[in-house]
Structure 1
Amino acid sequence: MARWEPNARERLVRAALDLFTEQGYDATTVNEIADRAGLTKTTFFRHFPDKREVLFAGQDMHARLLADAITEAPSPATPLEAVGAALDAITATFTDDRREFSAKLRPVIAGSGELQERAAFKRAGLAGAMADALHKRGVREPTASLAAELGIRAFDRAFDQWADLTNQQTFTELTRHALDELRAATAALD
Structure 2
Amino acid sequence: MARWEAGARERLVVAAVDLFIEQGYDETTVAQISERAGVTKSTFFRHFPDKRELLVAGQETLSALLASGITSAPADASPLEAVAAGLAMASSEMGPTNRDLGPRLQAAVAASTELQERDALKSVGMAAAMATALVARGVPSTAAQLASEMGVLAFKQGYARWSAAAAAASPPATSASPADDDEGLAPHALAALADLRAAAAALG
- TM-score, normalised to structure 2's length? 0.85
Runs of 4+ in 1 over 3 A off after TM superposition: 167-170
The aligned counterpart of 1:181 is 195
Deviations 1:75-129 (A, max 9, x none): 0000000000101111122223432222221111111111111111100100000
Q: Secondary structure at 1:53's aligned position in 2?
A: helix
User: How high is the sequence identity, in percent, across the aligned residues?
Assistant: 51
The aligned counterpart of 1:159 is 159
Distance 2:62 2:98 in 1: 15
CA RMSD of superposed structures (Å): 1.7
The aligned counterpart of 2:28 is 28
Alignment of 1:122-161 (within 5 A): 122-161=122-161
Which ranges in structure 1 are unaligned for 5 or more consecutive residues? none
Distance 1:56 1:27 in 2: 19
Which amino acid in the other structure matches residue 166 of structure 1? A
The aligned counterpart of 2:107 is 107
Which amino acid in the other structure matches residue 168 of structure 2? T
Alignment of 1:11-160 (within 5 A): 11-160=11-160
Distance 2:116 2:162 in 1: 19
Number of aligned positions between the proteins: 187
Q: Secondary structure at 2:74's aligned position in 1?
A: coil
The aligned counterpart of 1:7 is 7
CA gap 1:132/1:39 in 2 versus in 1, 3 angstroms: same
Distance 1:6 1:173 in 2: 30
CA gap 1:180/1:40 in 2 versus in 1, 3 angstroms: same
Which ranges in structure 2 are unaligned for 5 or more consecutive residues? 170-178
Deviations 1:113-158 (A, max 9, x none): 1111111110010000000000110111210000000111111111
Pick which of 50-59 and 70-79 moved more: 50-59
Q: Secondary structure at 2:51's aligned position in 1?
A: coil
1:38 to partner: Cα distance: 2.6
Distance 1:80 1:111 in 2: 34
- TM-score, normalised to structure 1's length? 0.91
Q: Secondary structure at 1:65's aligned position in 2?
A: helix
Distance 1:153 1:66 in 2: 13
CA gap 1:5/1:50 in 2 versus in 1, 3 angstroms: closer
Distance 1:27 1:36 in 2: 14
Q: Secondary structure at 1:94's aligned position in 2?
A: coil
Pick which of 89-98 and 118-127 moved more: 89-98
1:161 to partner: Cα distance: 1.7
Which amino acid in the other structure matches residue 194 of structure 2? D
